[in-house]
Structure 1
Amino acid sequence: MPGTFEPLPGGGASVALDDVEISIIRSLAVQLLELIGPGPAEDTPADPLAELFAEGPSEPPSDPVLKRLFPDAYRDPETPGNPQEAAEQRAHSAEFRRYTENDLRAGKRENALAVIHSLNALTPGEGGLAELELTPAESQRWLGALNDLRLAIGSRLEITDEDDADDFYRLPDEDPRKPMVMAYLWLGGLQETLVSTLMP
């Protein structure tokens, strides 16, 4: 899957994608949406003031992928033996989460939806490839979604840093993790080339 983003004159980025690549990214974005969960119900009255002060969850998610996507703002101290400091950090994390997680979820949801909508608008061109062209704002949305997808896949693969990913290059083809690893590495390449198009 050699598709890489190229800068567009005047800003933005483009990449040629085939049907398989489009299907993979769309499927992953839909799964990410399902994992993040729905937004406010459609019948909820639109009250910007109420939304501003709406409280989110105070406890971290139980799903390891969601924990990676919505980490604690304050981590427990790494040195044991200080339960008071640990309790204070948990309280600060809960407070921070209560007032930020709803907005974080909405942003991640919007990024994933932007990816799906832009893929749905594509039409195959010559050689079965579709040319995806993104504005600078759309590029930022794609960048956020690609990052979230890699975090989600990396969490499922138990990758804690990029050095862990090196071991996956040597996985045999029959390893059941191989397709997920290939998606992780390919999305990393897309993410890296998209970042390069946004550099001044």
Structure 2
Amino acid sequence: MRKWSRKNSLSGLKLRSEMDAREANVLRSLVGAVSGLLTERADSAPDDDLAALTGLRTGNTNPPDDPRLHRLLPDFHRSEPGSPDADRADLNSALRGLHEQEIIDAKLAAGAVVLETVPASGGKVQLTPEQADAWLHALTDVRLTLGTVLEIDADTPDHLDPDDPRAASLDVYHWLTWMQDSLLQALAP
């Protein structure tokens, strides 16, 4: 992939890059996998009679069991140990039920922008600033998911032994990080 560049045109700012077919395939596959996880989560929301009557959508009230989804859809409220609301699991349940579906919708929409703008067989990519924002959100979600699988933390080395089964995935993680950083640099005035 080439570094992102910015181009001002009569129709406004455009951000441009180019990726080969293999890169496009990897990115499309990763975004598709994250979108699949989120869609499964949204589809698992229980039917709610009140929601059916009012038209208000509700989501799951329990946090996801899958660590990847839990990283993408964390708890809304974290109380300090010993505080009066330390045992307020009902607050998280209520907030999750009210807002999780719209958060998933936003994440799916961002992923859809990436899938719509990455040529399936590689090639030139041109984005508006709004599409670039969607890319940044989708890349964050993919990186969070992959980082959870790889158990990336502050002690994770930049490179793993080539025989380590995680080495290739860590290289992809670093590529996504570079892509996201390059896009941010291109967006900055």
TM-score by length of 1: 0.80
Please point out which of 139, 148, 152 is paired with 2:141: 148
Query: How far 1:21 moved relative to its partner?
Result: 0.5
Query: How far 1:74 moved relative to its partner?
Result: 0.9
Please point out which of 131, 151, 157 is paired with 2:150: 157
Residue pair 1:56, 1:98 contacting (<8 A) in 2 also: yes
Task: State the partner residue of 2:20.
Answer: 18
Give the Cα separation in 1 of the matches to 2:65 and 2:98: 19
Report matched runs for 1:92-131 at 5 Å.
Answer: 92-120=91-119, 130-131=123-124
Query: How far 1:193 moved relative to its partner?
Result: 1.1
Task: State the partner residue of 2:73.
Answer: 70
Give the Cα separation in 2 of the matches to 1:5 and 1:175: 31
Query: How far 1:134 moved relative to its partner?
Result: 0.5
Give the Cα separation in 1 of the matches to 2:152 and 2:133: 24
Matched, 1:195 2:184: yes
Residue pair 2:61, 2:94 contacting (<8 A) in 1 also: yes
Cα-to-partner distance string for 1:118-165 (whole Å, 9 max, x where unaligned): 124x666xxxxx1100111111111111010000001111124xx344
Give the Cα separation in 2 of the matches to 1:5 and 1:21: 14
Give the Cα separation in 1 of the matches to 2:92 and 2:32: 29
Give the Cα separation in 2 of the matches to 1:135 and 1:142: 10
Unaligned runs of 5+ in 2: 44-51
- Identical positions, percent: 28
Matched, 1:184 2:173: yes
Length, aligned pairs only: 176
Task: State the partner residue of 2:32.
Answer: 30
Please tell me the root mean square deviation across aligned C-alpha atoms, in Å. Answer: 2.1
Give the Cα separation in 2 of the matches to 1:76 and 1:179: 38
Query: How far 1:8 moved relative to its partner?
Result: 2.2
Amino acid at match of 1:187: L
> Aligned with 1:174: secondary structure?
coil
Cα-to-partner distance string for 1:94-140 (whole Å, 9 max, x where unaligned): 111111110010111111111112124x666xxxxx11001111111
Residue pair 1:12, 1:198 contacting (<8 A) in 2 also: no
Give the Cα separation in 1 of the matches to 2:35 and 2:114: 11
Query: How far 1:12 moved relative to its partner?
Result: 3.0
Residue pair 2:15, 2:127 contacting (<8 A) in 1 also: yes
In terms of mean alpha carbon deviation, does 31-40 or 185-194 score higher? Answer: 31-40
Please point out which of 125, 129, 137 is paired with 1:132: 125
Change (3 A) 1:194 1:56: same
TM-score by length of 2: 0.84
Task: State the partner residue of 1:60.
Answer: 63
Unaligned runs of 5+ in 1: 41-46, 125-129
